[in-house]
Amino acid sequence: MEFTAKAIAEFLNGQVVGNPEVKVNNVAKIEEAKDGTLAFLANPKYSKYLYSTEASIVLINKDFELENPVSATLIKVENAYESFAKLLELAEQAKPVKQGISSLAFIEESAKIGDGVYIAPFVYIGENAVIEDNAKLFPHVFIDDDVTVKKNTTLNSGVKVYHECIIGENCIIHSGAVIGSDGFGFAPDENNVYRKIPQLGNVVIEDNVEVGSNTTIDRATMGSTFIKKGVKLDNLIQIGHNVQIEENTVMAAQVGIAGSTKVGKNCQFGGQSAAAPHIIIADGVKVTPQAGIPNTIKEPGSIVMGTPAFNIREFQRSFVVYKQLPDLYKRVKELENELKKLKGE
């Protein structure tokens, strides 16, 4: 499909600078764009490409000041990144909607299937499972007994959902994710042999959650592991049993949250960061990549860094000293030598 700059500007409530009738049929990064594509500029580091890009249309922020003439038609918007995301969402919605149940899927008779669903070949749906309206299950999805998948949720190829788990509306679960596997619960006996503790709970994922590829969310020992509304989890994340992640928290790849930890609303976890078990992390906390959180964080909105993690300003001041340790060690040794000489005299 083709769209004119005028039509795009009307959709985004933007202002056209240039030819309003120029058309695009694809999107591209500003540094790689060709004729007939639309790009965007939000990060100042890429500003230089605005003057050399071959894109037909570029979205820019209204407050951006041009330093040189540009060949592309510009659309000025309040937030170029957000506007670009809206266009991508619109393009996604324009794709053909898959519907229908493959004859190669296996569905237990007691399962309940809603209207407008798509169930691909080689999907398994267990006893008393509920698949609500317009859900999409792609090949090799496994739905265990008594699972509920609510409206408009997509489970991509190879997703496994264990028994009694619940996935809310408008969720996206990416390939290879495992929802509801056993929590890591073992108790040593008198011979120091580890005995498995049965994991009798489930996982509850609320609405508008996205779970990345090969992420694992363990079922609770008792009760539920909760992933609240609007949470976004990247690929390769481990969420332990009885964890609770509150609304609109985001976690980058390879984050690990140990069992029974509670993470507040609107938190941000950088890649490869981790939290110890049985702690509480306040709302709005930002965790830098590779940070390790050993204790409860009580201050909302704080930023923590390092392992063990503590306030980022204190960490940065400490790191300045840390980098000077070789010189400080050398000076201490020199002072020790001087002291020995004085004592000898």
Question: pLDDT value at position 78?
Answer: 95
pLDDT in tens, 91-113: 887 778 888 999 999 999 999 99
Residue 332 predicted with pLDDT over 80: yes
pLDDT in tens, 114-143: 999 999 999 999 999 999 999 999 999 999
Torsion-angle region of 201 (φ positive above 0: left; ψ -120 to 50: alpha; else: beta)? beta
Residue 325 predicted with pLDDT over 90: no
Question: pLDDT value at position 327?
Answer: 85
Count of CB atoms situated within 10 Å of the CB of 104: 11
Going by pLDDT thresholds of 50, 70 and 90, the confidence category of residue 308 is confident
Question: pLDDT value at position 309?
Answer: 75
Largest separation between any pair of C-alpha atoms in the chain: 97
Question: pLDDT value at position 114?
Answer: 97
223 neighbors 166 (Cβ within 8 angstroms): no
When mean pLDDT is compared across 80-89, 138-147, 210-219, 317-326, the lowest value belongs to 317-326
Question: pLDDT value at position 204?
Answer: 98
CATH of 100-314 given 2.160.10.10, 1.20.1510.10, 2.40.420.20, 3.40.710.10:
2.160.10.10
Mean pLDDT of the chain: 94
- Dihedral in degrees, nearest 10, Cα atoms 12, 15, 21, 25: -40
Q: What is the pTM of this model?
A: 0.83
Domain extent listing, the chain: 3-93, 100-314, 320-344
DSSP codes, 254-299 = T-EE-TT-EE-TT-EE-TT-EE-TT-EE-TT-EE-TT-EE-S-B-S
Tokens of 204: 């509850």
Residue type for 283, please?
Answer: D
Going by pLDDT thresholds of 50, 70 and 90, the confidence category of residue 341 is confident
Catalytic positions: 241
What does the alpha-carbon distance between residue 216 and residue 184 come to, in Å, rounded to a whole number?
Answer: 12
Query: Do 100-314 and 3-93 fall under one CATH topology?
Result: no
CATH code for the structural domain at 3-93: 3.40.1390.10
Residues 305-314 have a mean pLDDT of 76
Give the contacts of 192 (CB within 8 A, at least 6 positions apart). none
What are the backbone angles phi and psi of residue 302, rounded to the nearest 5°? -75, 155
How long, in residues, is the chain?
Answer: 345
Give the contacts of 138 (CB within 8 A, at least 6 positions apart). 118, 120, 123, 154, 155, 156, 157, 159
Q: Is 231 exposed, middle or buried (0-12, 13-18, 19+ CB in 10 A)?
A: buried
H or E stretch covering 331? helix 325-344
Residues 292-312 have a mean pLDDT of 88
Question: pLDDT value at position 345?
Answer: 62
Question: pLDDT value at position 294?
Answer: 94
Going by pLDDT thresholds of 50, 70 and 90, the confidence category of residue 247 is very high
Give the contacts of 7 (CB within 8 A, at least 6 positions apart). none
Q: What is the DSSP letter of 242?
A: T
Going by pLDDT thresholds of 50, 70 and 90, the confidence category of residue 83 is very high
Asked whether the bond before 69 is cis by omega within 30 degrees of 0, the reply is no
H or E stretch covering 16? strand 15-17
285 neighbors 304 (Cβ within 8 angstroms): yes
Going by pLDDT thresholds of 50, 70 and 90, the confidence category of residue 200 is very high
Residues 276-283 have a mean pLDDT of 97
Going by pLDDT thresholds of 50, 70 and 90, the confidence category of residue 52 is very high
